[in-house]
Amino acid sequence: MRGVGIYKAEIVKQIHNFYGDLLIRRNEFLTIKNHLKALAEKHREGVKSKIPCTFVELNNYHPSYIGKAVDQLLDFEIPKEASYECVAYEHGFASWLDLNHKTDCPYNHQFEVGLDYLLNGDLDSLSDHLDLNSDIINQTSLFGHKAMLLHYTASNGVEFWRQQVPLNLPKVIELLIEKGADLKAKMKVYGGEYDTLSLLTSSAHPYKARVGKAAEQVLQRQVM
């Protein structure tokens, strides 16, 4: 299935435009740590150049800047290490040091490819991929939040740039459940652990995309 519509909030579009294909050039890096370091260095460039979306990342993920307006942050002296910490927090780690300890390994390529199909609403490719790699359906991301594929359908608590919504989201969720996704599984975020339904119902993106209620109903039918 090709050509499915994708909803992206304006800030998600800005982040995609700023980082470009660095976000998906996973195969160029020997380890996850090296890729996230490159993202942190790019973030630092954006802060120095006063690129607004990098300050939105700070006020969403970095404890020292959460809740502060971008206009206010633009006047702050943001230290270099804040970019590294921000990237760590965005990927669910407790700190950059925590990230360093846990990501000296390559990506799980099959998981990442499946996630790409999911976020683009490519049902046919996702189904075929899961048939060939059935073990990834309930594997967790190697990032600190430990999100499974199903968690990513909520567009909440995962890395900012992946908070996009395929407009066939209910069918994506149905497919994942059909393939054995664990609806009760929880990911680590916001200082606790949450399942997909909880994350979905507290996420703005699926509802702004006008598919949140239908996706919610799919999940509720399965957990009842």
Average pLDDT score over residue span 123-149:
97
Q: What's the pLDDT at 2?
A: 56
Confidence of residue 7 (pLDDT cuts 50, 70, 90): very high
Q: Give the relative orientation of helices 169-178 and 212-223 as an angle to the nearest 10 degrees.
A: 20
Instruction: State residue 14 phi and psi, 5-degree precision.
Output: -65, -40
Q: What's the pLDDT at 222?
A: 73
Indicate the SS3 state at residue 188. Answer: strand
pLDDT by residue (tens digit) across 186-210? 999 998 999 999 999 999 999 999 9
pTM (2 d.p.): 0.95
User: What are the distances in angstroms from CA 194 to CA 12, 147, 182, 222?
Assistant: 23, 10, 13, 17
CA atoms of 18 and 51, how far apart (whole Å): 8
Is the pLDDT at 1 greater than 80? The verdict is no
For 45, other C-beta atoms within 10 Å of its C-beta total 13
Q: Hey, what are 204's tokens?
A: 């703005």
Is the pLDDT at 80 greater than 60? The verdict is yes
CATH 1.25.40 residue spans of the chain: 108-223
Average pLDDT score over residue span 213-224:
87
Is the pLDDT at 3 greater than 90? The verdict is no
Average pLDDT score over residue span 110-134:
98
Q: What's the pLDDT at 223?
A: 64
- Residues 176-186 as b/e (b if ≥16 CB within 10 A, e otherwise) read bbebebeeebb
Question: How many percent of the chain have pLDDT more than 70?
Answer: 98
Confidence of residue 11 (pLDDT cuts 50, 70, 90): very high
- Mean of the per-residue pLDDT values of the chain: 95
Of the candidates 161, 209, 156, the residue with the CA atom closest to the CA atom of residue 16: 161
Q: Let me know if domain 108-223 sits in CATH 1.20.120.
A: no
What DSSP designation does 5 have? -
Is the pLDDT at 224 greater than 90? The verdict is no
